Amino acid sequence: MDLRPTHIIRRFIQLGPKFIAVSLVGTVITQSLIIILHGGLGWGGGITNFVGVCVAIPPTYVMTRSWVWGKKGASSFRREVAPFWILNLLGLALSTVFAAIADRIWGSTLAVSGANFAGFGVLYVAKFVILDHLFKHDEEPVQT
């Protein structure tokens, strides 16, 4: 994994717009569910964040793999699916803790939404670097 800042910046310039677009799709899904479940139905901040993120993970995986990194064919559970879910679950854990705290302190849907952004923002750059390493190996045979 090449961690030189120049390499990371070059890769982000190349893939960043698509990566950001996919993140926006995931954000729209998650935030819509937070607004509906917390703001509309009165669910707690932690559970609404959990549901929103879990619903967004499958479509963002497919878009990240196929559109951002151009991977085709069968996914490798060990090399692609599991690490993708782990990265998103780390973001989920942070954002759920942040959302539950924000809900307890402020009790507003806006605070819960902001906490969701903060939790995922903390891991955003690391997620890009790790996914770039996982998905860029088209020359390697796919393991299932």
Mean pLDDT, the chain, whole residue set: 89
Q: Tens digits of per-residue pLDDT, 77-101?
A: 999 999 999 999 998 888 888 988 9
Q: Is the model's pLDDT at 142 over the cut of 60?
A: no
The pLDDT of residue 110 is 93
Q: Tens digits of per-residue pLDDT, 109-123?
A: 999 889 888 888 888
Question: How large is the average pLDDT for residues 41-55?
Answer: 92
Question: How large is the average pLDDT for residues 5-34?
Answer: 93
Phi, psi of 113 (to 5 degrees): -65, -45
The pLDDT of residue 137 is 57
Q: What is the pTM of this model?
A: 0.81
The pLDDT of residue 132 is 92
Give domain limits for the chain: 5-135
3-state secondary structure the chain: CCCCHHHHHHHHHHHHHHHHHHHHHHHHHHHHHHHHHHHHCCCCHHHHHHHHHHHHHHHHHHHHHHHHCCCCCCCCHHHHHHHHHHHHHHHHHHHHHHHHHHHHHCCCHHHHHHHHHHHHHHHHHHHHHHHHHHHCCCCCCCCC
